[in-house]
């Protein structure tokens, strides 16, 4: 295959035709890096289930814990931060993951196991615990593959069907993917605490390193690699922002009655875009240049080298009209 064919294939593989797609990705990354009380409470509940399931040697209960664990959002923050070269998103998501898994997850598992070991007979190391603490080479390799696959699924949900960003049913898909991500993160974190509580430091150490490897496989080898392969790049985010800024600056320079401009960008290819801007103005006697939309398109072309179809919608109170 020639270089031209490779470039064509890569362009076809990228995400086009979704309104404000890269801006929405950045927003998802920012929201995923936020630490809330609900995040810690969900980890607390998930760790209760995971610890009980591990000590009971019950895969069913462990799976139930994974359905509760809220680790999808920070994982996406990490990979989006890498792709967009945004340190705030990357370190925010990574810190949220680490503090949730170690400070909350491992600590809660430790406290629960200490209490149970004191008052309940038969608290011992089970097969499910050994699976996360002293895995065979086969188990170790398969665990990495699971982490990478879960990370790929998390990114594919954002790129293979980009409509998930704006559709309610996307939350259902995210919930299912969140279970896959928790497979790699929550059980090893709980085993770290269980090992310390039972005086088995080798178990805690092995589970810790398995957790580290899984985080790398999930966030970097799976999620980030898939975003890169799908053509997600910082320059498209900057392009959306530059086009939006150009629209607002051009309209405010030509119209003095503007109070707000809401601009949306749909990247159609490496050289074309659709633009829709809603202009909120104060005076009912606003004077509109006949070539305003063409003026905005020309400014976009001068600043970004993008050809664009510009749609302007003007709104005053309950009335509005459009100029193309």
Residue 269, domain CATH: 3.30.70.1350
Dump strand ranges (E) for the chain.
Answer: 258-267, 272-281, 307-316, 319-323
Statement to judge: residues 219 and 241 lie in one domain: no
- Measured in degrees and rounded to the nearest 5, phi and psi for residue 169 equal -70, -10
Q: With a cut of 90, say whether residue 204 has pLDDT above it.
A: yes
Angle made by CA atoms 301, 251, 260, in degrees to the nearest 5:
130
pLDDT digits (tens, 9 = 90+) for 59-104: 989 988 888 889 988 999 999 999 999 999 999 999 999 999 999 9
Cα separation, 199 vs 201, whole angstroms? 6
- Give the position of tokens 């985080």: 215
Tokens matching residue 229: 């392969």
Provide the domain limits for residue 287: 235-323
The total domain count for the chain is 2
Query: pLDDT band at 111, cuts 50/70/90?
Result: very high
**Cβ–Cβ < 8 Å for 264, 276:** yes
Instruction: Give the C-alpha separation, 47 to 104, whole Å.
Output: 8
Is the pLDDT at 282 greater than 60, yes or no?
yes
Q: Are 175 and 186 in a shared domain?
A: yes
Interatomic CA distance for residues 166 and 18, integer angstroms? 10
| CATH code assigned at 46 | 1.20.1080
Task: Write the pLDDT tens digit of every residue in 237-267.
Answer: 999 999 999 999 988 888 777 778 889 999 9
pLDDT number for residue 192: 96
Taking phi over 0 as left and psi of -120 to 50 as alpha, with beta for the rest, 2 belongs to beta
Please indicate, yes or no, whether residues 37 and 68 belong to a single structural domain of this protein: yes
Tell me, yes or no, whether 67 and 214 share the same domain.
Answer: yes
> Can you tell me the mean pLDDT for 133-138?
80
């Amino acid at each position: 295959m020639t270089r031209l064919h490779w470039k064509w294939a890569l362009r076809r593989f990228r995400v086009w035709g979704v309104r404000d797609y890269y801006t929405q990705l950045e927003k998802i990354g920012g929201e995923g890096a936020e630490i809330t009380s609900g995040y810690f409470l969900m980890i607390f509940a998930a760790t209760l289930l995971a610890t009980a399931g591990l000590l009971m040697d019950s895969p069913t209960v462990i799976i139930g814990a994974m359905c509760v664990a809220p680790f999808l959002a920070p994982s996406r923050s990490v990979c989006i931060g890498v792709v967009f070269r945004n340190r705030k998103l990357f370190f925010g998501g990574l810190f949220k993951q680490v503090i949730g898994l170690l400070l909350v997850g491992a600590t809660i598992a430790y406290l629960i196991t200490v209490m149970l070991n004191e008052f309940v007979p038969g608290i011992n190391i089970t097969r499910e615990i050994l699976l996360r603490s002293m895995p065979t080479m086969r188990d170790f390799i398969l665990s990495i593959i699971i982490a990478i696959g879960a990370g790929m699924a998390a990114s594919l949900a954002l790129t293979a069907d980009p409509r998930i960003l704006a559709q309610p049913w996307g939350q259902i898909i995210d919930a299912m993917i969140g279970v896959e991500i928790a497979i790699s993160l929550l059980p090893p974190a709980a085993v770290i605490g269980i090992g310390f509580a039972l005086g088995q430091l080798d178990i805690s150490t092995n589970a810790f390193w398995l957790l580290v490897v899984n985080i790398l496989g999930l966030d970097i080898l799976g999620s980030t690699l898939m975003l890169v392969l799908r053509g997600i790049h910082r320059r498209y985010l900057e392009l959306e922002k530059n086009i939006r800024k150009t629209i607002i600056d051009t309209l405010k320079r030509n119209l003095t009655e503007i109070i707000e401009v809401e601009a949306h960008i749909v990247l159609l290819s490496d050289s074309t875009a659709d633009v829709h801007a809603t202009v909120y103005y104060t005076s009912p006697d606003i004077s509109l240049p006949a070539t305003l939309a063409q003026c905005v398109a020309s400014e976009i072309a001068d600043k970004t080298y993008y050809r664009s179809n510009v749609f302007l919608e003007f709104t005053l109170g309950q009335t509005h009209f459009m100029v193309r």
